[in-house]
Amino acid sequence: MPDLAGLALLLEVARAGSIGGAARALEITQQSASERLRTVEAQVGVTLVRRGARGSTLTPAGTVLVEWAARLLDLADEVDGAIGSLRAERSRELHLAASMTVAEHLVPRWLVQLRQRQEAERRPPTSVSLLATNSRHVVEMVQDGSADLGFVEGTGAPAGLRSRDVGHDDLVLVVSPSDPLAAHRVSLTPQQVAAMSLTSREVGSGTRDVLQTALAEHGLTMNDAAVELTTSSAVRASVRAGGAPAVVSRLVVGADLESGQLVEVPTPGLRMRRTFRAVWSGPAAPPAGPIRELLGLIGRSRG
């Protein structure tokens, strides 16, 4: 099957009456046009153009092929226009899904940077929707196409998706100032942490996964939670109110630790550092448009 460029050249030969005229119309050299026509004839297996001193004419086979090619090229133009419309639509809308910590503490700043850049370059701003949920649900949304780009947290990159690191974070064990652990200021072993009934995030959250992984390195599992909550803010508020201790992101409780509204309990035996990752489906390179632009801004802000 000849490529579209070869068929377009054949159509121009029919219109111009010469290979040279067709080459000028397509802004290529006559030598390139002649070579391309020979390639098309070799692919089709018959002579398509009669070359002469006064110009070039189509053979009967060439005339038939031009009729078919014209319909095909018209359809290709229609498809090209549709693809252009899809690209334009994609550049105007961006559907994000992010884990709770990333959604609350990082994504807003990134989106402000994206909007500021577009305004500075006098480009129409991208309309962004953001769903904050746990990391497992983020992965599912990117996989089924309901999110263009996701941000997850955890110890490893999710399988089946492309990913890029966008930051790091540490988890800490915190208690209310009235908790006996706050008064004693002693370090806890992994075994002691495993035995605690914690205020915990739900199954599927990156925070919970990191804690479980850290305990598993010592052959331990989490005890039953005192309470399970679906947002980091709710966990933080519960501990501040005197609820059971919790393992949470330092990003979430940094201000509370500085003000004394929460107290950190050292857990030197547990490795609870996690990575924030952007995830998308498709080719290794992020899709052109707002996804690539946003990830570029995140990379530069980290640098």
* Encoded tokens for 264: 């950190």
Q: Are 127 and 92 in contact (CB under 8 A)?
A: yes
Listed range (1-10, 117-126, 234-243, 268-277) with the worst mean pLDDT: 1-10
Please give the helix or strand (H or E) that residue 175 lies within, else none: strand 162-175
Listed range (82-86, 97-101, 198-202, 264-268) with the worst mean pLDDT: 82-86
pLDDT recorded at residue 302:
72
Average pLDDT over residues 235-249: 96
Indicate whether 218 pLDDT > 80: yes
Indicate whether 303 pLDDT > 60: no
pLDDT tens column, 49-61: 888 777 788 889 8
Q: Are 99 and 206 in contact (CB under 8 A)?
A: yes
Whole-angstrom distance, CA of residue 61 vs CA of residue 73: 18
Sole residue written with tokens 């939670």:
225
Of residues 128 and 17, more confidence is placed in: 128
Indicate whether 81 pLDDT > 80: no
pLDDT recorded at residue 301:
77
Indicate whether 28 pLDDT > 60: yes
0.85 surpassed by pTM: no
Sole residue written with tokens 């309990």:
265
Listed range (90-99, 133-142, 156-165, 261-270) with the worst mean pLDDT: 90-99
List Cβ neighbours of 22 (8 Å cut-off, separation of 6 or more): 9, 12, 13, 15, 16, 33
pLDDT tens column, 85-133: 555 555 578 999 999 999 999 999 999 999 999 999 998 899 999 999 9
Average pLDDT over residues 10-19: 87
Q: Are 244 and 265 in contact (CB under 8 A)?
A: no
Q: Are 110 and 274 in contact (CB under 8 A)?
A: no
Exposed e or buried b per residue across 119-135, where buried means at least 16 C-beta atoms within 10 angstroms of its C-beta: eeeeeeebebebebbbb
How does the average pLDDT of the chain come out, rounded? 90
Q: Are 261 and 180 in contact (CB under 8 A)?
A: no
Indicate whether 72 pLDDT > 90: no
**Nearest one of 150, 155, 128 to 137, comparing CA atoms:** 150
Task: Delineate the domains of the chain, giving CATH numbers in brackets.
Answer: 4-90 (1.10.10.10), 94-303 (3.40.190.290)
Confidence of residue 240 (pLDDT cuts 50, 70, 90): very high
pLDDT recorded at residue 109:
94
Average pLDDT over residues 41-48: 87
What are the angstrom distances between the C-alpha of 183 and each of 60, 68, 174, 265? 97, 85, 12, 10
Listed range (152-161, 234-243, 256-265, 267-276) with the worst mean pLDDT: 152-161
pLDDT recorded at residue 155:
75
Confidence of residue 239 (pLDDT cuts 50, 70, 90): very high
Indicate whether 84 pLDDT > 70: no
pLDDT recorded at residue 17:
86
